[in-house]
A and B are shown apart, each in its own frame.
Chain A
Amino acid sequence: GQQVMQIPQYQHVQEGEDFTTYCNSSTTLSNIQWYKQRPGGHPVFLIQLVKSGEVKKQKRLTFQFGEAKKNSSLHITATQTTDVGTYFCAGTRSGGSYIPTFGRGTSLIVHP
């Protein structure tokens, strides 16, 4: 079945440093979504990417979708303590059902 791999599992940064998490799929995706889960909370939708090579920005967050639509990344510039949480990518297989498959997530720890 479809697999979505996400790395790293954990990332410690000093406040102000940049952070990147990577997502790779074993199959071509029709789109990819990103969610954030704060400690003790539930996942909250951040963004969806649909087009090959698409790049979207939300303030300090930059999301990219690969040209082959098999990989994606989330980059945070100048992290803040409010960025702490686990970031999940979720890919929907091209030609498959509409159900996204989640990666295992990357937990970001920001040290003040």
Chain B
Amino acid sequence: DGGITQSPKYLFRKEGQNVTLSCEQNLNHDAMYWYRQDPGQGLRLIYYSQIVNDFQKGDIAEGYSVSREKKESFPLTVTSAQKNPTAFYLCASSDRGSSGANVLTFGAGSRLTVL
């Protein structure tokens, strides 16, 4: 089955530690995204990548880093510089789109709790 796999599903870390969230897709999509979801805040874009070896900052990139070395993979690192990292993180992918929009397919999410 084609889809997006995020791991781990739940993650607990101490303050000051960097953590890396994994996102793998086998949909052959060019574009991949990371969103952060907090209660009542909707989905906020952290980073996105439209092609391998290239990525762009979203609305809330501070304290996060990404890489896109392979088409299938787009890991997100939550660094110690992120002031409030506890949240639900969603990875998504899409075709580059020719109709003026990218329809997103989401993974199941990773819930990070910083103690």
Interface residue ranges, A against B (CB under 8 Å): 1, 6, 9, 30-31, 33, 35, 41-45, 48, 50, 88, 90, 92, 94, 98-105
Contact = CB atoms under 8 A, between A and B. Distances in A.
A50 B100 contact: yes
Interface of B: 31, 33, 35, 40-45, 48, 58-59, 90, 96-97, 99-109
A102 B101 contact: no
A31 B42 contact: no
Contacts, number: 64
Given A9-B40, A98-B96, A99-B48, A42 B104 contact: no
A43 B106 contact: yes
B100 A102 contact: no
A38 B9 CA distance: 17
B100 A98 contact: yes
A44 B101 CA distance: 16
B40 A104 contact: yes
Contacts of B90: 42-43
Given A1-B59, A92-B101, A42 B40 contact: no
Given A88-B43, A104-B40, A98 B101 contact: yes
A39 to B, nearest CB: 12
A74 to B, nearest CB: 15
Given A1-B59, A43-B43, A33 B101 contact: yes
B37 to A, nearest CB: 9
B33 to A, nearest CB: 8
Contact of A44 (B40, B44, B106): B106
Contacts of A43: 43, 90, 104, 106
